[in-house]
């Protein structure tokens, strides 16, 4: 069985320009019986991205250790060049050990380059033993 949490329903515009907001931080609590994953099951982070500039680079982190964020700790790394400013539904299977069961957690999306809208961020996960 799978459970989910809607972490953010509305849009957030990320803009790497110095006058823009280059990140969105989402804090949330996971249940104590959150399962980090089993052989064929990991938490899945689903979201919609809409690039607003010709080229963009976006990173995503789960419980980052420090700010500035280190690219080697990214769980999501997106790079694209397109003139098509459409919605793209994406998902990422994440190592469940990055999350803290029964505690506060943080997910961060950051624009390294360009402008992008991120919305409808959902975390799918398992509860219980996962056996």
Residue 82 has what pLDDT?
A: 83
- Model pTM score: 0.88
Q: Is the peptide bond before 49 cis (omega within 30 degrees of 0)?
A: no
Mean pLDDT value of segment 106-129: 92
pLDDT above 80: residue 58: yes
Mean pLDDT value of segment 78-98: 91
- Looking up tokens 């459970």, which residue turns up? 3
Angstrom distance (rounded) from CA 56 to CA 53? 7
Residue 33 has what pLDDT?
A: 92
pLDDT above 80: residue 20: no
As given in the structure block, the two tokens for residue 55 are 């080229």
Residue 130 has what pLDDT?
A: 54
Closest CA to 3 of 24, 25, 28: 28
Mean pLDDT value of segment 47-59: 93
Residue 65 has what pLDDT?
A: 86
């Amino acid at each position: 069985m799978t459970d989910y949490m809607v972490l953010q329903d509305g849009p957030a515009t990320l803009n790497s320009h110095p006058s823009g907001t280059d990140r969105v931080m989402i804090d949330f609590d996971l249940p104590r019986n959150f399962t980090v994953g089993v052989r064929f099951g990991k938490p899945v982070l689903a979201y919609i991205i809409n690039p607003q500039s010709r080229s963009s680079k976006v990173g995503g982190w789960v419980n980052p250790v420090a700010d500035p964020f280190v690219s080697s700790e990214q769980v999501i790394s997106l790079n694209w060049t397109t003139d098509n400013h459409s919605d793209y539904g994406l998902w990422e299977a994440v190592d469940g050990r990055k999350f803290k069961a029964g505690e506060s957690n943080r997910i961060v999306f950051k624009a390294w380059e360009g402008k992008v809208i991120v919305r409808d961020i959902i975390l799918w996960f398992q509860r219980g033993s996962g056996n």
